[in-house]
Chains A and B, each alone.
Chain A
Amino acid sequence: DQQVKQNSPSLSVQEGRISILNCDYTNSMFDYFLWYKKYPAEGPTFLISISSIKDKNEDGRFTVFLNKSAKHLSLHIVPSQPGDSAVYFCAARPETSGSRLTFGEGTQLTVNP
């Protein structure tokens, strides 16, 4: 079963506008969530994370929101830039699993100039 789901395979936004990427999860034992960004022919790179004891974490243009009751995670990018065009993966850590992560399928973000 897919415990972490990104239901939108792709998203297209205009430069300067907000990008919102969504992620849903089913396992209530997840206690730490991460977003990764991946350019073609490169490995994923860590972007931002949030612990389950928080509902928001911000780093520059990137903000992650966590709604535990809805089991929903979102990444906001404001303002979006063409260099943000990449595949974004959300990931989650179950509290009993050490450092293992479960990844979503990814969302391809395209930011148009």
Chain B
Amino acid sequence: NAGVTQTPKFQVLKTGQSMTLQCAQDMNHNSMYWYRQDPGMGLRLIYYSASEGTTDKGEVPNGYNVSRLNKREFSLRLESAAPSQTSVYFCASSLRYEQYFGPGTRLTVT
């Protein structure tokens, strides 16, 4: 089992460019999440999907969109990147309350 995988590991974008962060899990979990981690701010929820076919906004959704493609995959899209979106992005999945995280994507927007 690979657990939760994320691609890419690193990305540099120019302001205004778009990109999609990919996430997949092989644990047959119903729920999936996208977080961003910034220094001194912990993990903040961007969007989550309680089950296939549903998505909901989290704490910091502005500037992002998500797609729950199927039970395994949950992608995060930045339509027009801004320097404020420079961060480390983590995807997670859960069956119940314990969430399992991917290795993260370090994104820099210049």
Residues of chain A at the chain B interface (Cβ within 8 Å): 4, 6, 9, 32, 34, 36, 41-46, 49, 89, 91, 93, 98-101, 103-106
Contact = CB atoms under 8 A, between A and B. Distances in A.
Dominant secondary structure of chain B at its interface with chain A: strand
Interface of B: 4, 31, 33, 35, 40-45, 48, 50, 58, 90, 92, 94, 96-104
Q: Which 3 A-B residue pairings sit nearest by Cβ, starting from the closest?
A: A43-B101, A103-B43, A105-B42
B42 A99 contact: no
Contact of A100 (B41, B45, B104): B45
B40 A101 contact: no
A101 B42 contact: no
Contacts of A89: 42-43
A42 B104 contact: yes
B50 A98 contact: yes
Contacts of A104: 42
Nearest to B100: A46
